[in-house]
Structure 1
Amino acid sequence: MEIIQLKSITETEALEIHSLSNQLGYANDFDSLLGRLKEIITLKDHTIFVAKADDKIVGWLHCLVCMRVESPLFVEVTGLVVDENVRGKQIGKKLIEASKSWSQDRDISIMRIRCNVLRTESHKFYKALGFSSSKEQKVFELSL
């Protein structure tokens, strides 16, 4: 198993990422997802890491640099999915480690992850990696 930072994206890779996202209930239109992936990999303050086993993507992580008026610069992991058939094999941990190195290469010493309150297994995973829960919040959305 290897961790790779995506610099380009093939349709096959996008299909594998799409399939993994569906496992967590994120129903996406494939063409829209492919378009976002193509755009994200061009952005200097974003990156996508994938875990590949037998030349197939079995996990992915998207993170980005966040700048806020009220707080120091930090990297936020905005998405992390590991194939349900290979969970428990340190793949998520290796993806987090890759994003930590990416953050440190940018002299950023804070990493954040937002996680749905219902995903209690994910909470245990992040705590085991040294993350601590810093606050709970509600997300408000307005369709435009």
Structure 2
Amino acid sequence: MIRQAKTDDWKAISDLMNQLDYPNTESFIKGNIERLLAHPDEELMVYVDEGNVVACISLHYIPQLALPGDIACISYLVVDSTIRNKGIGHKIEEYASKAAKKRNCDRIQVHCHSRRNDAHRFYNRQGFSESPKYFTKLL
């Protein structure tokens, strides 16, 4: 089952973020979840299996000026490492794509670090294509 995340999901989401190499989120993730849930251009969804949160996806909508449709960006997508390759990632990404279409998005994109080879294969299977460049400036 896919549903909107709740603040009470913070521990499971923190554990999932740890699996993505984002450790030590326990002290601030609850506040971040509350902020995302309150923001009109954010969606945080979880996949629940047998009563446990086993995956999550954070989706950000970016209104566009020079394009006819808006852009949806996947900020985080993670499935618990103990149950990967069972179609859960596919289901939650497909759900996110449908949600993006409802929000007038004509594309969905994701930044995925070069070291995440398994994730690259997943996104390719989902129909994503690699964009030529992505620049980041730390503030």
Q: TM-score normalized by structure 1?
A: 0.89
The equivalent residue for 2:80 is 83
> Mapping of 1:108-127 within 5 angstroms?
108-127=105-124
Please list every run of 5 or more consecutive structure 2 residues that lacks an aligned counterpart in the other structure.
Answer: none
Query: Which secondary structure state, in structure 2, belongs to the residue aligned with residue 141 of structure 1?
Result: coil
Please list every run of 5 or more consecutive structure 1 residues that lacks an aligned counterpart in the other structure.
Answer: none
Q: Which digits, 9 at most, give the CA deviation of each residue in 1:101-123, with x for residues without a partner?
A: 11111121110000001111111
Q: Contact between 1:49 and 1:98, CA under 8 Å: does it hold in 2?
A: no
Query: Which secondary structure state, in structure 1, belongs to the residue aligned with residue 39 of structure 2?
Result: coil
Q: Which digits, 9 at most, give the CA deviation of each residue in 1:44-93, with x for residues without a partner?
A: 11001101111111000000111355655200000011100000011111
> How many residues in Structure 1 have an aligned counterpart in Structure 2?
138
Query: Which secondary structure state, in structure 1, belongs to the residue aligned with residue 83 of structure 2?
Result: coil
Note the aligned Cα RMSD (angstroms): 1.5
Q: Contact between 1:61 and 1:77, CA under 8 Å: does it hold in 2?
A: yes
Distance in 2, Cα, partners of 1:84 & 1:46: 25
Residue identity in the other structure for 2:91: K
Instruction: Tell me whether 1:23 sits opposite 2:22 in the alignment.
Output: no
Distance in 1, Cα, partners of 2:24 & 2:35: 16
